[in-house]
Amino acid sequence: MGTPVIELRGVTTIYEGERIPAIHEIDLVVERGEFLALIGPNGVGKTTLLETINGLLDHKAGAVRLFGLDVRREGHRLRRRIGYIPQAVSFPELTPFLVRDVVLMARFGRIGLIHRPRAADYRAVERALELVGSAALARRPIGKLSGGQQQKVMLARAMAKEPELLLLDEPFSNLDFVAREEIASTIVRLHEELGLTTLIVLHDLKGLPPCCQRVVLMRAGRIFRDGCPDEVLDPLILAAAYQ
Amino acid sequence: MLLGIFSSTLVGAILAGWSCGLVGAFVVRLNLSSLGFTMSHAAFAGAALGLLLDWDPLLLASLFSLAVAGALGPAAERAKLEPNVIIGITFPLTMALGLIFLRFAPGTALSSTALGLLWGSVLGVTEMELLELAFLSGAMVVLIALFFKEFLAILLDMKLAREAGLNPRPFYYAILFLTGMTVALSLKLIGGLLVFALMINPAATAFQFLHDMKKIILFSPLIGAGAAALGLLGSFAFDLPVGSAIALVSTAGFGLAVALSPKRRRG
Ligand SMILES: Nc1ncnc2c1ncn2[C@@H]1O[C@H](COP(=O)(O)OP(=O)(O)O)[C@@H](O)[C@H]1O
Ligand SMILES: [Mg+2]
């Protein structure tokens, strides 16, 4: 199947000043084109795992490789190829940035030091905003948008990188039903049309899209089950994880 | 002196207002006000020690101000500063040290030069200091223009900047360094008690009117330069201490901005 997109071997992450690891000895391999849901109760280490994968958090033990490259050495370069929506991003009302600039900034790493954004960068921003149906918001200040609109902008921001991997941390939290359906169908469409490798953290199981072939269930900082939805979403297994 | 005292002071005030306004845009957006406040009083204490030891006050002011940046920068970077605690502890400390240094400074004890360090003086500014201020202003413009993307990204959010594949840390510390240098170089003209006003007010004024950080970075130094020039004129016209006059003008500008701000209006 070629080089895996994500490859974690015995990965442990400990927050600064803490003694107990937030995630323990994680082994996880994700191949190109997979759509994977990461589930588990609050505080189980889902966000920590995502940020360990893209190198925003440094791991204490084990190895994290993306596209075959060590995230510790190549973190900055790798993050330019990964779309990431952090959990519960919300910009205060007076945040002095326009939507199109927030989206454009996702490309600043790959544009490189000193270089200025070019036509291709602005086009990628336009396309990304169109993709999530938010082109009309481009010139609005980000803080003046509703939570759902901001979340769509964050998805556009992730897509503006033209990423090879999408990491989404509870992208549906704080969304009403309509906004949630919209964002979910956009994510599914991206996966189906572009074959984009997608790892989505869900905190409840309602948002699981049908195209999801694999579910990873966490418990207390470890992977508890990893398999197809039918296996993992068994009531007994879930009860043991969410007890 | 090539320039008369008035015009050389005017140039100094404009340069100080410009650079304070420019770093102020960063300081306000990054919530570094307590750090800027502490830096300006540490710079005063440093300059006072300079008078006592008969060393270059500017050099010691810079060192003290940068020492604050070095000591508190890492905590500020992680948003772990407790502004009230820091201000509560450092303000009395730096003031006490500065006043003790001045008390024992030979000959100058509470002379106008010494007091000028507190509320600014048009007399003390030498041509060399003007040149240094001009160099700092120019260097800041070049640096910020070259790395505009990187600075802009950390002004939105440090974590998102890292996520975009940037390394924000050097740029964050560059801001702290430039703030420290700006405070130290503006000290003689504006005074350690008031330089903080010239840093915060223009930026806060720009934030009232503008929704776009790029424009705030452009206008804040212009407002700062304008407030400094107007304040200087006021200080000559009404025989006020120059730093006080500049602080009053910049505060009045901010008050006016709050009253007129479109951001306050609903609808
Ligand atoms: N910045 C932090 N410092 C210390 N501990 C943290 C920090 N962030 C999260 N944790 C701890 O790490 C564990 C996992 O958290 P997290 O990954 O956010 O869980 P989840 O995303 O599954 O809700 C929790 O016990 C949490 O308390
Ligand atoms: Mg989480």
Ramachandran sector of residue A30 (left: φ over 0; alpha: ψ -120 to 50; beta: rest): beta
Q: In this structure, what CATH number is given to the domain that contains residue A145?
A: 3.40.50.300
Chain A residues near residue B161 by CB distance under 8 angstroms: 105, 108
Q: Which of A219, A215, A212, A221 is nearest to A239 (CA)?
A: A219
Domain for residue A1, yes or no? no
Neighbours of A43 (CB within 10 A): 11
Question: For the whole model, what pTM was predicted?
Answer: 0.94
Contact A22, A221 (CB under 8 A): yes
> Which residue has its alpha carbon closest to ligand 1 atom 25?
A43
Long-range Cβ pairs for the range A187-190 (8 Å, 24+): A187/A155, A190/A131, A190/A159, A190/A166
For A51, the domain range is 6-242
Count the domains in chain B: 1
Strand runs (DSSP E) across chain A, as ranges? 6-13, 23-30, 35-39, 61-66, 69-70, 82-85, 165-169, 197-202, 214-219, 222-227
Alpha carbon of residue B203 to chain centroid? 11
Residue B183: domain span: 2-266
User: CA end-to-end span of chain B, whole Å?
Assistant: 56
Which residue of A lies nearest to B215 if distances are taken between CA atoms?
A96
Task: Tell me the best of A47, A60, A170 to mutate to test the pocket of ligand 1, counting ligand atoms within 8 Å of each CB and taking the most.
Answer: A47
* Distances in whole angstroms, Cα of residue B19 to Cα of each of A66, A193, B3, B63, B169: 43, 51, 21, 18, 22
Instruction: Look up the CATH number of the domain holding residue B77.
Output: 1.10.3470.10
Chain B contact set for A107 (CB, 8 A) = 164
Q: Which of A74, A42, A54 is nearest to A11 (CA)?
A: A54
Q: What is the pLDDT along chain A (243 residues), one digit of tens a residue?
A: 689 999 999 999 999 999 999 999 999 999 999 999 999 999 999 999 999 999 999 999 999 999 999 999 999 999 999 999 999 899 999 999 999 999 999 999 999 999 999 999 999 999 999 999 999 999 999 999 999 899 999 999 999 999 999 999 999 887 888 888 888 999 999 999 999 999 999 977 776 888 899 999 999 999 999 999 999 999 999 999 988
Ligand nearest to the CA of A221: 1
Nearest-by-Cβ selection for B213 from A86, A96, A109? A96
Q: How far is the CA of A12 from the centre of ligand 1 (A)?
A: 13
DSSP structural state of residue A41: S
Q: Which residues contact A73 (CB under 8 A, 6 or more apart)?
A: none
Angle, helices B195-209/B33-53, rounded to nearest 10 degrees: 160
Q: Which of A13, A20, A24, A48 to mutate to test the pocket of ligand 1 (most atoms within 8 A of CB)?
A: A48
From its phi and psi, is residue A9 left (phi > 0), alpha (psi between -120 and 50) or beta?
A: beta
Chain B residues close to A84, C-beta within 8 Å: 163
ipTM attached to this prediction: 0.95
Question: How many independent structural domains does chain A possess?
Answer: 1
Pocket of ligand 1 (CB under 6 A): A 15, 18, 22, 40, 42-48
